[in-house]
Amino acid sequence: MPELPEVETTLRGIRPHLQGRTLRQAVVRERRLRWPVSESLLSLRDSKIMAVERRAKYLLLTLESGQLLIHLGMSGTLRVLEAATPLRKHDHLDLVLDNDTVLRFNDPRRFGTVLLSPPGEPHGLLARLGPEPLADDFDGDWLYRRSRARKVAVKNFIMDNATVVGVGNIYAQESLFDAGIHPSRPAGRISRERYAVLAAAIKAVLHRAIAAGGTTLRDFTRVDGQPGYFAQSLSVYGRAGQPCPRCGAALKADRHGQRSTVYCAQCQR
């Protein structure tokens, strides 16, 4: 599933081609996404795209006539193409622009989302989200205050969108390893000082991932382009049984919230 760095990479790839342009119409070929595409989307006509932003893993297109909320789901991709580009299987929706290009949404598994909200009314899916992990208001003090008396494992705690948005399974594991914190440790039993280290690790891990994604931006305007969700050097994710990159001990695996977690029992306490 695309995580925050992948969505941020997508944002940076499509924004220059969309912001300031006029959306002529939406062409919907398959309405059966995670939630059915609203009939109101079909009525979009000649609306200027005022801003293209990201909130958590949602892409937000602010129009004169409302706001489009797009989630890539498990397999969704967006490409900017010439309007005459032949369709591929699972090309479910086009946003047709005023320069004979389209933003094309492809989603084989159809868990993605394209929703329209009226002007000035942010969608309810955005209502209870915590801070952005790369924003100034996210820090160790925030994590410490939110965690008091919490018995949940710290990995589950930082993957909760009410705590902080967009820290998915891969980056939670990598951040906890960098911070030296065991993923099973109860959130309420971690000190303010260690949370400061963890918040800094989350920011650093995400920044590295976003920087690695920058090399794929050209793919967003190629007919055969896929974002690729950049391969990068990961310390623990997917490496159970392999040597710890710090101490050499065999990495262990556990489960948190039905998700596999790899960690070093020597380095993470």
Q: Is 121 a catalytic residue?
A: no
What are the start-end ranges of the H helices in the chain? 4-18, 39-42, 140-147, 154-158, 169-179, 192-213
CATH 3.20.190.10 region(s) of the chain? 4-126
- Higher pLDDT: 269 or 218? It is 269
* HSE-CB of 39 using CA atoms within 13 angstroms: 0
Query: Is 222 a known ligand-binding residue?
Result: no
Residue 64: count other Cβ atoms within 10 Å of its Cβ.
Answer: 12
User: For the segment 63-117, what is each residue's pLDDT rounded down to a tens digit?
Assistant: 999 999 999 998 889 999 999 999 999 999 999 999 999 999 999 999 999 999 9
User: For the segment 179-223, what is each residue's pLDDT rounded down to a tens digit?
Assistant: 999 999 999 999 999 999 999 999 999 999 888 775 454 555 554
Determine the CATH number of domain 4-126: 3.20.190.10
Query: Is 109 a known ligand-binding residue?
Result: yes
Answer yes or no: are the C-beta atoms of 157 and 144 closer than 8 Å. no
Catalytic residue, chosen from 54, 57, 104, 155, is: 57
Q: Is 208 a catalytic residue?
A: no
CA 267, CA 248: separation in Å to the nearest integer?
A: 10
Query: Is 79 a known ligand-binding residue?
Result: no
Please name the residues in contact with 6: beta carbons below 8 A apart, sequence gap of 6 or more.
72, 213, 227, 229, 230
Does the 140-263 domain belong in CATH 1.10.8.50?
yes
- Higher pLDDT: 201 or 43? It is 201
Angle at the Cα of 204 from the Cα atoms of 198 and 206, rounded to 5 degrees:
105
CATH 1.10.8.50 region(s) of the chain? 140-263
pTM equals 0.88
Least confident among 130-144, 156-170, 183-197, 230-244: 230-244
Q: Is 239 a catalytic residue?
A: no
Catalytic residue, chosen from 12, 185, 246, 259, is: 259
Q: Is 57 a catalytic residue?
A: yes
